[in-house]
Amino acid sequence: MSDNTNPTHKPVLLAAKQVAKHFGGVKALRDVSLTIRQGEIYGLIGPNGAGKTTFFNCMTGLYIPDGGGFDFTGTPLVADAPDQAAARGIARTFQNIRLFGNMSALENVMVGRHVRTRAGVIGAMFNSAATRAEEAAIRERAMALLHYVDIAERADDLAKNLSYGEQRRLEIARALATEPKLLCLDEPAAGMNATETGELRELIEGIRGDGTTVLLIEHDVKLVMGLCDRVAVLDYGALVIEDVPAVVQNDQRVIEAYLGA
Amino acid sequence: MSIKNWLLPRSTVGIGLIAIALIALPFALATGGQAWVRIANFAILYVFLALGLNIVVGLAGLLDLGYIAFYAVGAYTWALLASPHFGLHLPVWAILPIGAACACVAGVLLGSPTLKLRGDYLAIVTLGFGEIVRIFMNNLNAPINITNGAQGITLIDPVKIGDFSFAGNSTIFGLTLSGPQKYYFLLVALALLVIVVNLRLQNSRIGRAWQAIREDEIAAKAVGINTRNVKLLAFAMGASFGGIAGGVFAAMQGFVSPESFSLIESVMILAMVVLGGMGHIPGVILGAVLLAILPEALRYGVAPLQQLLFGKVLVDPESLRMLIFGLALVLVMRFKPAGLWPAPERKAHGNPNPEEGRA
Amino acid sequence: MDIFLQQIVNGLVQGSIYALVALGYTMVYGIMGLINFAHGEVVMIGTLTAITVAGSLLAAGMPPALAGLAALIVATLLCMALGWGLERIAYRPLRNAPRLTPLITAIGMSIILQNLAMILWGRNYQTFPPLFPKVNFELAGVHFTAVQVIIVLLSAATMLSLTLLVYRTKLGMAMRATAQNPAVAGLMGVNSNRVISAAFVIGSALAALAGIMVGAYYEIAHYQMGFMLGLKAFTAAVLGGIGNLLGAMAGGILLGLIEALGAGYIGDLTGGFLGSHYQDIFAFMVLIVVLMFRPSGLFGEKTGDRA
């Protein structure tokens, strides 16, 4: 939609401020600070065990940081409240796909609408007009999202019966159903072949095109460098660099982190 | 949603046949004695309870081994508010909601401190809660006599709507109905109501949230479900159903004592849910009916069968029937691990609003 | 003060028995995540078998010590076979079944064993034969019997040997590995079937021992005795942190003490409002309170959410 080639002048969407997290004696995150601006595709890379997923989990409220915190759209995020993070507009996928296996693909996405809808138990029991209308809207929106990620024909199949690639797409659709301002994808290309990765890339660009900011954790350096507006590199829980891909790629410390580990 | 195919056969003929069967059943059973009508009544009551527990265990995936406590709370609420024990005789439209509310409060009281526990820890805590409730009912006859202890409470009022009492014989449209037969129709009506409510809940925003928690709690949190509140809601809903069932039980029996609310009852209801097909309403109904009828049928069948085979009663019929019952549980689980009638693998959603055309 | 010490002794005895039974629950749970509801019935079968064997041998004129030993051996072997068979026939086919399926099977097996026992031994209470000398000791105003001393010492020795088995032998290492991660343990060459069988067999042997202790202590037994005992022992296992051997032992002893002290003092504590028949409530109340503050039990590992 808008010109995204130079998003550095856009307002800050998420600011991590000296986020620290340790497990026992292991320092998983050492005072990590970074900023994600509205409308950009932001890549977070680093060797295995660098703390990428830990950072994600702190941001989305699954972990309580031991130090520092996050500002989202200018106000602090409450730690330890994943449902509030989702309500504020942060949605995520998981490295090892976490779908609701025994629910249909459509129902999975409908669950994603939970946080943007209201109907309660009483409305459901009496099947009130308001509930019916909301339910129809949820279903319609969920179906549209399945079309968007191109798995509409699997709507009635149980999520656990979908193929790997379809499950990845379904997880993205479910996250999009929460109407996120920031969509966080944890290694979405893991286990994908070149064709599938290409399709994923188009999907992510499309999502950004619709105005959603994307945070991408990825191992596939080629994908990240080609897709992201800015990239941050974590190593041993510390931020090494945060810059545009061209700079990051040629940074000596980054090369060492990847080769020297 | 597949229940549509089962509950609403494509033709109205099917509905008609089911309706006729349901109406004719108490009369057919009565030819074998009112005892059989009572057994049918208990089977329906168990359907009621199993559907209530299904919300907690089947939909939300919370293992509750103390469900009977809520049934007990409902039963004692009715017993205390409609019997000579305190000299209170409140009308049905007042007691049932009070009973449901009391059970609901009990559910929230139990749930709020314990719902963060992992699956099996929750199971043992709920089990303990069930025992605590039973022990209190057993002993709260001193220093102030509230529950009348192990003797229980007798002479409980039957269900009365206006001047129409559900106890004793009465003649309607020239048909003479016995007490159990009248309760049968009341229970069928209530059970249908509970089935409809369950179906609606299952396919609602909250119902989906319950299932999401059952499937993956972390993912459910990540999509913005307040898992604590939503779990509490499942507990409260399940408990309310248990409370209503308990009230009807007290009125139907005219008598309650702590004996009816032992742990084994909780276990039985759980077995109904799992054996039938967890989370799948038709399966749960089937499980409840089967497990309610089987021990009774065996009670009548085991002794004569031994007579027939061996010419005398070799083994104590009571143990033999429970032995067969236990064996049935083990065998069903062995050969149908997901239950007798599990949820289908592919869900049909052709009609965007499955409720339409039912009422 | 005398009452206090007396109740401590009583609690210790009862707690030792709980601990032995709790170990059976916790081993099976730790390795396969199953609440083996039928475990209490194994205890009951152990008690009743011992009564039958010892009773008939005593009647045949055998000295009590020998009769007791024979009863111990027969009951233990029978229970071990029972535990092995339970796992083999009922639980093993359900390894990959939905989570609650084996639980219902366990409940079914519990019903079967109870009614089998009723057919074999009848509905009446059975009296435990006088195997142990009826000697009473008194120390600092506290009375205790030979049976009580034997129970505490024997369970302590048993628990010590079990700990050594689990932490010092190859089988123990295989058990701990399987509990951590069955798949990986399997890849490393651990035969998980054998490990699971071992857990059932060892747990059942402990159950038999506990069964004989209960019989000797209370001097009566009944086909329904296993249920409540099993429930309490399971509570003890959860209290300590299920899956944790040390937790089961500590939980068992603790539960025994809490119950004994609770029964002794509940009247004073509540100004006579609640009597000692509320004893059973204590176990569950304490459990609920402990789990509110330590959701994985006293010694359980903290399980963080892993995304």
Contact across the interface for A56 and C305, Cβ inside 8 Å: no
State residue B355's pLDDT score: 41
Return the DSSP state at C87: I
Q: Is B233 within 8 Å of A115 when comparing Cβ atoms?
A: no
C100 in contact with A at a CB cutoff of 8 Å? no
- The residue type of A44 is L
Q: Is the dihedral of CA C1, C2, C6, C7 positive or negative?
A: negative
Residue found by looking up tokens 């996405």 in the block: A109
Q: Which of B53, B280, B302, B319 to mutate to test the interface with C (most CBs of C within 10 A)?
A: B319
Using CB atoms, which residue from B212, B218, B279 is nearest to A111? B212
**Per-residue confidence (pLDDT) for residue B354, from 0 to 100:** 42
The nearest CA of chain B is from the CA of A36 a distance in Å of: 20
Q: B226 burial class (0-12, 13-18, 19+ CB within 10 angstroms)?
A: buried
The residue extents of the domains of chain A are 1-89+180-261, 103-178
Instruction: Please judge whether B225 and A114 are an interchain contact, meaning their C-beta atoms are less than 8 angstroms apart.
Output: yes
Looking at residue C233, its pLDDT comes to 93
Q: What is the mean pLDDT of each run of 10 residues along chain C (307 residues)?
A: 82 94 91 89 96 93 90 96 94 87 90 92 89 80 86 92 91 87 83 90 95 92 90 90 89 92 74 68 83 82 46
Cβ separation A94–C305 shorter than 8 A: no
Other Cβ atoms less than 10 A from the Cβ of C176: the count is 17
Are C24 and C206 in contact by the 8 Å Cβ rule? The answer is yes
Assigned token pair, B102: 């009391």
Question: What tokens does A92 get?
Answer: 């995520």
Contact call for residues C201 and C88 (beta carbons, < 8 A): no
Which one, of C190, C280, C165, C232, lies nearest residue C16 by Cα?
A: C232
Show Cβ contacts of residue B90 under 8 Å, excluding neighbours closer than 6 positions: B81, B82, B98
CA distance linking residue B176 with residue B34, whole number of Å: 13
pLDDT tens for A71-126 read 999 899 987 889 999 999 999 999 999 999 999 999 999 999 999 998 888 888 88
Report long-range pairs for C194-197 (Cβ below 8 Å, ≥24 apart).
C195/C31, C195/C171, C196/C31, C196/C32, C196/C87, C196/C92, C197/C84, C197/C87, C197/C88
Cα–Cα distance between A86 and A80 in angstroms, integer? 12
Nearest CA in chain A to C306: A62
- Among the listed residues C166, C154, C171, C142, the one whose alpha carbon sits nearest the alpha carbon of residue C245: C166
Give the bridge partners for A105, in sequence order. Answer: none
Q: What is the pLDDT of residue A208?
A: 94
Identify the residue whose tokens are 């309650």: B256
pLDDT of residue A6: 54
Q: In this predicted model, which residue has the larger pLDDT, A8 or C45?
A: C45
Q: How far apart are CA C17 and CA C184, in angstroms?
A: 35
Residues of B in contact with A158 (CB under 8 A): 345-347
Q: Which fold has domain A1-89+180-261?
A: Rossmann fold (3.40.50)
Under 8 Å between Cβ of B355 and B204: no
The reported pLDDT for the residue numbered B318 is 75
Beta-bridged to residue B153, according to DSSP, are: B256
Q: Does B355 touch chain A (CB under 8 A)?
A: yes
pLDDT given at position A4: 47
Give the type of residue at A195.
Answer: T
Domain count, chain C: 1
Domain membership of residue C307 (yes or no) is: no
Residue with token string 């052709």: B350
Cα-to-chain-centroid distance, residue A142? 18
pLDDT, position B351: 43
Contact B333 C105 (CB under 8 A): yes
Q: Which of B205, B225, B352 sits opposite A83 (nearest CB)?
A: B225
The closest of B260, B262, B290 to B274, measured between CA atoms, is B290
Which of B205, B220, B348 is opposite residue A117, by nearest beta carbon?
Answer: B205
Higher pLDDT, residue B274 or A2: B274
Q: Which of A202, A145, A204, A211 is nearest to A2 (CA)?
A: A211
Facing residue for B353 by CB, picked from A94, A112, A132: A132
Q: How far is A78 from chain C (nearest CA, A)?
A: 18
| CB proximity C305 to A under 8 Å | yes
Smallest Cβ distance to B222: which of A92, A103, A138? Answer: A92
Contact A94 B211 (CB under 8 A): no
Q: How many CB atoms are located within 10 Å of the residue C169 CB?
A: 11
Chain C residue numbers with beta carbons less than 8 Å from the beta carbon of A101 are none
- Which of B72, B58, B34 minimizes the C-alpha distance to B167? B34
The answer to whether residue C286 is domain-embedded is: yes
| Chains contacting C (3+ CB pairs below 8 angstroms) | A, B
**B–C interface: beta-carbon pairs under 8 A:** 138
Let me know if residue C303 belongs to a domain: no
pLDDT of residue B90: 84
Which among A57, A92, A184 is the top mutation candidate for probing chain C, defined by the most C β-carbons within 10 Å of its own β-carbon?
Answer: A57
- Cβ-contact C206, C72 below 8 angstroms: no
Name the pTM for this structure. Answer: 0.88
- Distances from the Cα of B124 to the Cα of A55, B114, B128, C232, C235, angstroms: 36, 11, 6, 10, 7
Cα–Cα distance measured from residue C128 to residue C134, given in angstroms and rounded to the nearest whole number: 13
Instruction: Write out the E strands in chain A.
Output: 12-23, 26-37, 41-45, 67-72, 75-76, 90-92, 182-186, 213-217, 230-235, 238-243
pLDDT per residue as tens digits for the range A186-205:
999 888 888 889 999 999 99
In 3D space, the residue among C287, C246, C231, C294 whose CA is nearest the CA of residue C41 turns out to be: C231
Going residue by residue through chain B, which has 359 residues, state the pLDDT in tens, using 9 for 90 and above: 444 455 554 567 777 888 888 887 888 887 878 888 889 999 999 999 999 999 999 999 998 988 999 999 999 999 999 888 787 888 888 888 999 999 999 999 888 887 778 777 888 888 888 888 888 888 887 777 788 877 888 888 888 777 777 777 777 777 777 778 888 999 999 999 999 999 999 999 999 999 999 999 999 999 999 999 999 999 999 999 999 999 999 988 888 999 889 888 898 899 899 889 888 999 999 999 998 888 888 877 777 777 777 777 777 777 887 888 889 889 998 998 888 888 877 666 544 444 433 33
Q: Does B351 touch chain A (CB under 8 A)?
A: no
B104 touches chain A (CB under 8 A): no
* Residue B130 one-letter amino acid: G
Expressed as residue numbers, the domain containing C253 is 2-293
8 A C-beta contact, residue C238 and residue B121: yes
Interface of A with B in 86-125 (CB under 8 A): 86-87, 91-92, 94, 98-104, 106-107, 110-115, 117-121, 123-125
> Given a contact as 3+ CB pairs under 8 Å, which chains touch B?
A, C
- Asked if A42 and A36 count as a contact pair (C-beta separation under 8 A), the reply is yes
Query: Helices marked H in chain C — which ranges?
Result: 2-32, 39-59, 64-85, 101-121, 146-168, 170-180, 182-187, 192-218, 225-240, 245-269, 279-293
Q: In chain B, positions 210-269, which contact chain A (CB-CB < 8 Å)?
A: 211-212, 215-216, 218-227, 233, 237
CATH number at residue C137: 1.10.3470
- Tell me which residue in B221, B345, B346 faces A83 most closely, judged by beta carbons: B221
- Please report whether residue C300 resides in a domain: no
**CA B82 to each of CA B94, B96, B255: distance values in angstroms, whole numbers, following the listed order:** 10, 11, 11
pLDDT of residue B101: 94
Q: Is B294 on the interface with C (CB under 8 A)?
A: no
Which of B120, B129, B146, B122 has its CA nearest to residue B69? B129
Task: From chain A, pick out residues whose CB is under 8 angstroms from the CB of B237.
Answer: 121
CB within 8 Å of chain B, chain C residues 75-94:
90, 93-94
Distances (CA, A) of B359 to B354, C106, C144: 11, 42, 71
Angle between helices C2-32 and C192-218 (to 10 degrees): 160
Residue A91 is predicted with a pLDDT of 95
> What's the pLDDT band for A2 if we cut at 50, 70, 90?
very low
C139 in A contact zone (CB under 8 Å): no
